[in-house]
Structure 1
Amino acid sequence: FTGIIGPNGCGKSTLLKLLAGIYQPTAGRLSVNSRVSPFLELGVGFNPELTARENVFLNGAVLGLTRRDLQDRLDEIIAFAELEEFADQKLKNFSSGMQVRLAFAVAIQADAGILLMDEVLAVGDARFQERCFDVFNRFKREGRTVVLVTHDLGAAELYCDHAFLLDHGGVVTEGPAGDVCSVYRRMVGERNEADAAAREEHPEEPAAIEENDGRWGSGEVRITDVELIGPDGARHHTFASGKPMVIRMRCEVRRQVDDLICSLNIHRGDGYVLAGSSTFYSGFELRCPPAGSRFSVDWVIDEVRLLGGHYRLSATLAAHPTSHQIDCLEQRFEFRVMSTAHQIGLIEMGTDWRAEGIELRPLSANLAGRYELDPGSDDVADGGETRSA
């Protein structure tokens, strides 16, 4: 199971078309040692004026299947695509998800040793994606090859044995999928960091935070800026998992208030709050300075426990722990975390293991090499001592 990853325009889809024989290479050499079943672009091999049933025969013929084979498998194909109630509807009335299910159901019927998939999971729902990977796993058991182009690094790490990272038409690196995805995350983080540095060469005034949706409050004290500061004391957009980070809230006082509480929340992409802290619940009390004053408050994070991903930040000033919002900026700031940890999820929960009744020893280079894994030099031992509870 091979994954092809990389930024838009790097050549992923072009590579699949070369493997499928649609394009001919202008230089170099390309060798394909088995029959190929391509699933490259939505709509290829289909006629929108024909029904789903008729398009099965049309697309199947393009893949080299006989009419008798398709007739024998027709009910199975329609059922896999979950289109029993729409088999006689014209394709032009189908959603993109319905078209993908039908195209995939036909593509896997081909007696091919290599299945080429270009973003097949991008428009499918979770249930369809799960069924796709059931098929991919069956192909692996049968000794067939799946080549998957995807932007979903989680799926690439979870299902692909090997991966290639492309950029500007060339191979940046190849190897175990987890290692290649880590390289890609670092590459994206470095580019984001460079973009952020370029923007910071001409910084806006702190008070330039716009008044629009996502901000509310009574306004006695206003947040003028939120800075994300790395271990070097400089402002950054990208941070390394396991390293320190400071979130600095800069504010100005328009009218002095009796009580003041600062809060910061970290959200994942869908808005769910992953972590947060406030001066009040952390056991601190703020004394608001007079009107016209400016001040800053830091949330000092000794170790970023988030795994690689894109996160948003909300900042709030309040006069009461649960009510009277003075100024709230909801998910108005963004940052990225890079991680090389071979773990899934969003939070680093530690890697300490103990065992009882079974020998547990440090991972050897020999065992890691047997599975073509590279958990990191710090985690691999040449010998190691047994560890038990």
Structure 2
Amino acid sequence: MNNEKDGARRPTRLAATALMLALTADIALAQAPDSAEATPVAAAPALPPPAMEVKLDTVTVQRGDLLQTVDAIGKLQFHRFADVSPQVAGQIKDVLFAVGDAVQEGKLLIEITPAVRAESSRAQMARLRAELADQQAQTDFAELQFKRQTQLKAQNATREESVESSRMNLSSARARVDAINAQIQQLEATLKFDEESRRHKQVLAPLSGTVVAVNARAGQTVNIGQPGLPLMRIADLSQLTVQARVAEVDITRLKRGMTANFQTPGYPGRTWSGKLRQVLPVPADGTGEQGKETFYNVLFEVDNPQQELMSGMTTQVQFIVAQAKDALLLPANLLGRRDAGGLYQVHVLNADGSIVARTVKIGLRTVLQAQVLSGLEAGEQVLAGPVPAPAPQPKPLAPAGAP
């Protein structure tokens, strides 16, 4: 029974298989293109990927002012000042001004009580005049004695010894008169000096300005020409002097009258100017010895009408050696090496993206910038980095059917 059943099922499976094969063939024929219209195509070669766009670093040529300078460090100091010293010996009675006070020329600053010695000098003068009168009388008497002895000698009425004695007495009397007159003259000079000194018991301001130092106090004893600090110092603060220390390698570039600009930490962003007045011809203290670098002091004045600047302030000074106004400027680090003709080569990026080489002539140059005299125009873009390599070109397609 089973064999009969298996025999009946086998034709059915074969028919199903044949039907599925026929359907598959029909679908393949329906999807295949017309053999008459199909054309064989050669395989395309692989192209290199398109070159990526590179962003170039450029600098724009611009106009501006260029300064060639010598830099130095300096200090502000007084330009015009006067020290007040005693002109009479005595004791300070009063000090009328303190540091920072403004004074006018001729104003009373210090009052001194002179040492008392004029009265004793006058008493000595009176004594000398009395001695002179007495000695003059003795001289007159000696002259009479000498005349009488001379007359008696002519009459042979006296001895020679008497005549010579009278002559000696007269000479001695006259010498004593001369000595007393000399003492009187010396004492008169002393009295005149004392009287002059008494008129200087008031110490007056020698100029208009500001009191910047006081070394006097009430009760202090002073003498004429005494060593040490002055009693008072007065300075005109409307103008100060900048003393800058310039290195030996730069000092020969400086000339009298050139402009000097400076800044000070006390006023950030502000600049003051002056004209170089003097280069001191001797090295600055403490330089040029035992292998030390040599520096020289350079002086110039600056107006200070508002008295904002003060003595002792530190200054960063720039002496302008040369300058170019409204010049074409290019960063100095883009120039590279100079050729035999003194020119430089740079690369310019054109508006269409092409890069061309340019030869430029340079004028003034500093560490940061250079003046372009020819070869570039304002607004042009100069490459700041290396010139990029050209992008690789794609290979042409092989013709169809080529092996």
TM over 0.5: no
TM-score, with length taken from structure 2: 0.19
Q: TM-score, normalised by structure 1?
A: 0.20
Q: Work out which of the two has the higher radius of gyration on C-alpha atoms and give 1 or 2.
A: 2
Which structure dedicates a bigger proportion of its chain to strand?
2
Structure with bigger RCO (C-alpha 8 Å, 6+ apart): 2
